């Protein structure tokens, strides 16, 4: 473990914050949050769309969230005498805290949940949304972290996955990072998020359906079989080591998309061994640096951990990280227009084998 000290505190509005320190001896309670903050918002509404059998979260309070503040007003930097941020201490290693503008939370106001129509059930969006700050350095990035710090982040995500998965009503836990204003990032400080969903998300439902069908037909894990096929082919493998393989999916939806998968069938991040956690860091950092080198400038991306659900279907999940970018050329982005946004039918501009070769050649 690279976490020497774990210190939970409460912010002035009652939200939880946890310091994860790589060295011991920090008195984190010496730095209380002295801000006068409003009461956190109530949980969002979940409205069920009967036409596609999906739940949609309605969280109007998120419309007022902080948007691209100047660097001296960044809420994710350590606090200073001149500006109090979300992190009260003057420095930190890795920190997680409840989002001030959450899509899901435990704070339910029953009077705000009312029926819309007979065909559209409404229920509270119970869950948790947390922010993960990877470093106190505002000008850094995940790709610039040391392998030791990446290991710390993995340990933190394991900690939060275990805790959030045990919450009542949580169906799956999704840690992710959005990077770049092209993706829609509203804060430039290196950070990610963790969503503890009160439902199984649409993509995960599709993956579970496909995995169950494959298991009925073959008795095998679908993702394990896909990974094995990619390893045998090698045409789309970008990098690999003893414990992990990074490859471009044969049917990639995005111009540049890579899966980073452990060689063992594991349900979630907490199930990773120490050796697997150590081996992840250099491989993932290598892939991120290839992304940035592709066009000679920081690559906008979304990076998310697919983990097993907490209930029915958990045995079908196979932990893996999905990394993808909407940049398709140095000066062009892939916009989700008619076919993708309206119909969910993706059309990729880059042949996956070509994308893999470009990344391998760097």
Supply the residues annotated as catalytic: 191
End-to-end CA distance of the chain: 33
* SS3 state at 291: helix
Between the alpha carbon of residue 139 and those of residues 135, 188, 297, the distances in Å are 10, 8, 15
CA distance 130 to 175: 9
Please choose, from the candidates 129, 39, 128, 136, the residue with its C-alpha nearest in 3D space to the C-alpha of residue 95: 136
Q: Which residues contact 25 (CB under 8 A, 6 or more apart)?
A: 5
CA distance 266 to 158: 13
CB-count burial class (<10 Å; 0-12, 13-18, 19+) for 252: buried
CA distance 183 to 209: 29
Torsion of CA 304, 205, 201, 265, to 10 degrees: -30
- Which tokens hold the place of 18? 């946890």
Please choose, from the candidates 342, 303, 322, the residue with its C-alpha nearest in 3D space to the C-alpha of residue 226: 322
**Contact assessment for residue 287 and residue 238, using Cβ atoms and an 8 Å cutoff:** yes
Strands 172-179 and 128-133: unpaired
CA distance 178 to 158: 19
**Contact assessment for residue 195 and residue 129, using Cβ atoms and an 8 Å cutoff:** yes
- Which tokens hold the place of 180? 């770049």
């Amino acid at each position: 473990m690279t976490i020497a000290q774990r210190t939970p505190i409460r912010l002035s509005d009652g939200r939880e914050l946890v310091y994860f320190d790589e060295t011991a001896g920090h008195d984190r309670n010496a730095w209380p949050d002295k801000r006068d903050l409003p009461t956190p918002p109530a949980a969002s509404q979940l409205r069920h769309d009967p036409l596609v059998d999906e739940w949609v979260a309605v969280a109007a309070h998120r419309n007022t969230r902080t948007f691209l503040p100047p660097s001296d007003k960044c809420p994710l930097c350590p606090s200073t005498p001149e500006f109090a941020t979300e992190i009260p201490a003057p420095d930190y290693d890795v920190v997680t805290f409840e989002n001030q503008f959450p899509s899901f939370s435990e704070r339910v106001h029953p009077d705000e949940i009312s029926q819309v129509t007979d065909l559209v059930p409404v229920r509270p969006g119970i869950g948790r949304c947390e922010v993960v700050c990877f470093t106190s350095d505002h000008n850094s990035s995940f790709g610039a972290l040391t392998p030791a710090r990446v290991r710390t982040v993995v340990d933190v995500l394991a900690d939060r996955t275990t805790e959030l998965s045990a919450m009542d009503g949580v169906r799956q836990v999704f840690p992710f990072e959005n990077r770049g204003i092209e993706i829609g990032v509203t804060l430039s400080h290196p950070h990610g998020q963790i969503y503890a969903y009160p439902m199984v998300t649409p993509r995960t439902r599709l993956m579970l359906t496909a995995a169950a069908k494959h298991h009925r037909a073959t008795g095998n894990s679908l993702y394990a079989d896909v990974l094995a096929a990619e390893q045998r082919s090698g045409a789309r493998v970008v990098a690999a080591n003893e414990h992990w393989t990074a490859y471009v999916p044969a049917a990639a939806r995005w111009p540049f998309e890579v899966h980073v998968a452990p060689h063992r069938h594991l349900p979630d991040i907490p199930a990773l061994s120490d050796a697997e956690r150590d081996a992840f860091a250099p491989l993932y950092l290598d892939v991120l640096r290839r992304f940035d080198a592709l066009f000679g400038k920081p690559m906008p991306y979304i990076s998310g951990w697919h983990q097993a659900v907490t209930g029915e279907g958990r045995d079908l999940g196979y932990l893996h990280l999905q990394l993808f970018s909407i940049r398709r050329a140095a000066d062009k982005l892939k916009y989700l227009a008619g076919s993708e946004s309206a119909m969910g039918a993706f059309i990729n501009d880059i042949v996956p084998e070509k994308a893999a070769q470009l990344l391998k050649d760097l």
